[in-house]
């Protein structure tokens, strides 16, 4: 992407460089550039907290007295503004955390608002230098984190995880293993991903018991259930092509990693030239192609949203659905009371794969970020510290039926949620056999993969073309020197 002409040959003062950075953001917004294109506009740069480089630096103390109870020096007289993505998890958990923070700090004003349009609403505020103090950068309209980092718009959060936890010890000691990896870019933490997501195949335990079906372990088991379902006039899968056909892309990569090992994910994160021709990836995409060829997908998915596809599933038109553990809360309004939503690990391609059946694709999601220009960045950090207390983590689990990155925050009864209970059981059963990948988020590639998988699941293209076009996405990113690349630790 060309840079705006007024951003060249500028005097190299910090103020002018920051103004140029803001103009670049404004130009991208005005042109209707999406998250993927924003990543393509990101340019690597040296450090420099003042000059709009790739490191926004840490957060300054808030002006209050620093102590173990107030590690960031929050000033109770200074309000804190929090913006939440109001998606599958809603915003009640954040409202509750704001009340808890107000009780902790002498009635400090915590303004929690929510939206589904993060980029359209917040990007102009970044351009104007008036962002909120902390925001939940999630959803289809999320801002691209790589672009924000490259423009020096995000503060680093390393001091947050080193701070004392409300429950004792440090915050880092209170977190699940691997919780910080998705928010770490080339060794620096920029995003606190609050929700621990278990990706799984979801089904109705009631329906499976009635039909005499067992939760699938292998892809052959999945196809057998598909054949049985077809015999009863049911589809095996539903999909929402408008915005989430690539849930099946996620499942394919997970099956490939379980077959070929974590090095499969490393090759993808490294943007390797042959990443989509790895044997395990070929097998996984071919497997889903078999389900497409067998007409196991509910027709009409290309033109609907994921929530509509999920509604088709929970109302009995389809049998299984691949998604993250947010799904119960997202479909709470339409799921029958006796559905008994339950998850199982994504299936094995064969029984001689590199990882066991219990292995799960688990990762932290729902990235919270503190803008480098936040008026009360210390308050933003403290809001996150409150959210990371066991009390607020348990509250989140109760109101959303989902787990956070805080250890041991889900009680045995899982507040009566079958989905939450099964997610917790999968975490426990997996142990150290947990994996993830980052390339789709690092480079904002969701919009690139969605149309490919929409066409694939609709029967318009075959598996070989899916791989070819997917590899072309990686090749474009790898070969574009204007895109900042992130280190891969395999």
- The answer as to whether 123 is a domain residue is no
Q: Is 413 within a domain? A: no
Alpha carbons 84 and 144: distance in angstroms, whole number: 16
On whether residue 45 sits in a domain, the answer given is no
- Label each residue of 50-104 as H, E or C: CCCCCCCCCCCCCCCCCECCECCCCCCCCCEEEEEECCCCCCHHHHHHHHHHHHH
Query: What is the reported pLDDT for 489?
Result: 66
Q: How many domains is the chain partitioned into structurally?
A: 1
Residues 6+ apart with CB under 8 A from 319: 203, 207, 225, 226, 229, 234, 235, 236, 237, 313
- pTM exceeds 0.85, yes or no: no
Q: Report the pLDDT value the prediction gives residue 432, as an integer from 0 to 100.
A: 87
Parent domain of 277: 197-362+438-477
Q: Count CB neighbours of 14 within 10 A.
A: 12
163 domain-assigned:
no
187 domain residue, yes or no = no
End-to-end C-alpha distance for the chain, whole angstroms: 31
**Residue 294 in domain:** yes
CATH number (domain holding residue 219): 3.40.190.10
Q: Would you give per-residue pLDDT tens digits along the chain (490 residues)?
A: 333 333 333 333 333 433 444 444 443 333 333 333 332 222 222 233 333 334 568 898 889 999 999 999 999 999 999 999 998 789 999 999 999 999 999 999 999 999 999 999 999 999 999 999 999 999 888 998 988 998 999 999 999 999 999 999 999 999 987 799 889 988 899 999 999 999 999 999 999 999 999 999 999 999 999 999 999 999 999 999 988 899 999 999 999 999 999 999 999 999 999 999 999 999 999 999 999 999 999 999 999 999 999 999 999 999 999 999 989 988 988 999 999 999 999 999 999 999 999 999 999 989 999 999 999 999 999 999 999 999 999 999 999 888 999 998 999 899 999 999 999 999 989 988 999 999 998 888 999 999 999 999 999 999 999 999 999 999 999 999 998 898 886 4
Is 323 part of any domain? yes
pLDDT of the residue at 37 = 30
Write down the pLDDT at residue 2: 32
Radius of gyration of the chain (CA): 23
User: According to the model, what pLDDT value does residue 460 have?
Assistant: 97
Which of helix, strand or coil describes residue 30? helix
Angle at 196 between CA 193 and CA 198, to 5 degrees: 135
Q: Is residue 310 part of a domain?
A: yes
């Amino acid at each position: 992407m060309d840079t705006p002409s007024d951003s060249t040959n500028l005097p190299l003062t910090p103020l002018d460089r920051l103004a140029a950075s803001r103009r670049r953001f404004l130009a991208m917004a005005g042109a209707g550039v999406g998250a993927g294109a924003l990543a393509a506009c990101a340019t690597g740069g040296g450090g420099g907290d003042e000059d709009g480089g790739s490191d926004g630096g840490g957060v300054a103390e808030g002006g209050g007295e620093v102590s173990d109870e107030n590690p960031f020096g929050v000033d109770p007289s200074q309000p804190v503004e929090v913006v939440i993505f109001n998606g599958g998890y809603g915003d009640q958990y954040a409202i509750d955390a704001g009340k808890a923070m107000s009780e902790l700090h002498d009635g400090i004003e915590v303004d929690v608002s929510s939206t589904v349009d993060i980029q359209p609403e917040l990007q102009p505020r970044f351009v104007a230098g008036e962002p909120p103090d902390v925001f939940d950068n999630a959803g289809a309209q999320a801002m691209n984190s790589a672009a924000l980092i490259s423009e020096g718009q995000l503060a680093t959060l390393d001091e947050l995880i080193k701070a004392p936890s409300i429950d004792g010890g440090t915050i880092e000691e209170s977190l699940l293993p691997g919780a910080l990896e998705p928010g770490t870019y080339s060794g620096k933490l920029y995003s606190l991903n609050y929700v621990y997501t278990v990706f799984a195949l979801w089904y109705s335990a009631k329906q499976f018991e009635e039909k005499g079906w067992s939760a699938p372990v292998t892809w052959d088991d999945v196809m057998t259930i598909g054949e049985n379902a077809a015999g009863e006039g049911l589809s095996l899968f539903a999909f929402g092509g408008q915005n989430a056909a690539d849930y099946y892309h996620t499942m394919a990569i997970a099956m490939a990693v379980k077959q070929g090992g974590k090095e499969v994910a490393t090759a993808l994160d490294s943007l390797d030239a042959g990443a989509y021709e790895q044997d395990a990836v070929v097998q996984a995409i071919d497997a889903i192609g078999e389900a497409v060829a067998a007409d196991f997908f509910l027709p009409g998915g290309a033109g609907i949203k994921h929530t509509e596809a999920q509604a088709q599933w929970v109302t009995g038109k389809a049998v299984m659905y691949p998604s993250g553990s947010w799904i119960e809360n997202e479909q709470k309004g339409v799921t029958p009371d006796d559905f008994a939503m339950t998850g199982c690990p994504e299936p094995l391609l064969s029984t001689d794969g590199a990882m066991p059946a219990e292995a799960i694709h688990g990762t932290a999601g729902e990235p919270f970020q503190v803008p480098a220009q936040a008026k009360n960045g210390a308050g933003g950090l403290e809001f996150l510290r409150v959210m990371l207390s066991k009390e607020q983590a348990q509250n989140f689990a109760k109101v959303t039926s989902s787990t956070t990155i805080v250890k041991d925050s889900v009680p045995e009864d899982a507040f009566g949620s079958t989905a939450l209970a099964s997610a917790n059981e999968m975490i426990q059963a997996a142990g150290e056999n947990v994996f993830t990948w980052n390339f789709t988020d690092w480079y904002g590639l969701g919009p690139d993969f969605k149309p490919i998988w929409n066409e694939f699941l609709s029967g318009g293209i075959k598996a070989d073309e899916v791989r070819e076009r997917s590899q072309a996405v990686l090749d474009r990113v790898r070969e574009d020197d204007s895109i900042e690349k992130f280190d891969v630790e395999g």
